[in-house]
Structure 1
Amino acid sequence: MRRAHIAPAVAAVVAAQALTRLGHRITTQEASTLGAATVEALTAEGWSITAGTVGTTRLSSVAPELWKHDLPLLAGLARGRTYREIAAETHTPEGTTRHRAARLISRVGAANAPELVAIAYRAGWMNSLAPEPRGRLTLAEDEQRALYCLADGLDTAAVADAFGITHTAAARLLSRLYAALDATRPSTPDRSSRCRAVALGYQHGLLPLPAN
């Protein structure tokens, strides 16, 4: 029996499907191995695998890099939601939501969730998410610089190093930034969201978007 030609991307799709269904119970490497083995076995039996839309969650209408479930996740992070809240809103187990976020962060090369949000805005993936209303936002020079640091994936310790200040002073600077942006978590007004701060920065022109 003739061996059918299988596109190299098929193994990656099978692996992604395995990760989606098994959530945090399987690693990316294990899923990749499973995907490659599955394709190899099917090919050896003479099966032909073609792309289709039935039973698959990919692709989003925004970008081929994304899965459909990535968009609600990104929107939730941009709005300052916790992973638990995003999971509840999307009717998804929290563990699966966290694992999807970790996979997306790894896939785009982000250091953390705030940098993921920054990458999403620069890539145009968030164009359909309406900006949150704010009055005229103006930041002090050090606050503006701190906002750039968050968009670059720096944590509080890294911000302290970048400014040459103590960790405590960096935490106070970030607190001033969050207050200036009103970047609190909707469900917990006494806590702030770095992801929401970065999102607001792009929404209101405080962080630059690529020229069209």
Structure 2
Amino acid sequence: MTGYSRSLIGLAIALAGLAGYVDALGFIVLSGQFVSFMSGNMTQMSVSISEGLWSVARVPAAVIVLFLIGIALGTVITHVTERFSIRARKVAVLSVVTTLLVVGSVFSSFDITPGAVTAMALAMGVVNSVFQRDGEVTIGVTYMTGALVKMGQRLTGAFLGGPRWAWLQHFGMCAGLIAGAILGALMHRWIGVHALWPAAVVAAGLIEVAWLVSPSPSAR
């Protein structure tokens, strides 16, 4: 997260919250599978394969493939819009994320679970392209293991005389995902299949936020 303004870090935390929200919905709908946490899906797929449960392994395997396609789509979007401003690239990526979540919400509202899960997994892959520098993802907004490791390192560094508050950025990412996941689970309890619509609305709002907080070419 080095080199990013506080406003952009705030956007990253908001996107982590969105990812947590959507992942919680996916976890509930798929009875224990994820739409953004691919490490968990890889573990579950591997355990199922080791036990010969091929039909069970197909579900996480399919979601992993969809997530990869989303990553590819996000990368293509950033490549195609490379000649435009950085804020335009972020807006383009988030516009696709929003569109996918709207499509997923429509499928979900009609109880078309495969369509909803497909759109959700694709959106979670695409959203990781919001923060890129020189073709590489610099802030992964759907996976927090790296952020947790860095938070632990920065906390230890603070005790050893390093920067006192450097860990807060990484804590914010983890807290954002946790808060989003809790809210997602509660919303599913309250409004059921319609719980994906608020995620689409939030994603649409973050398009405006991305436009406002990405003013300079250095803020990729």
Q: What is the TM-score of this pair, normalised by structure 1? A: 0.26
Larger Rg: 1
Say which structure, 1 or 2, has more relative contact order (CA 8 Å, 6+ apart). 2
- TM-score between both structures, scaled by the size of structure 2: 0.26
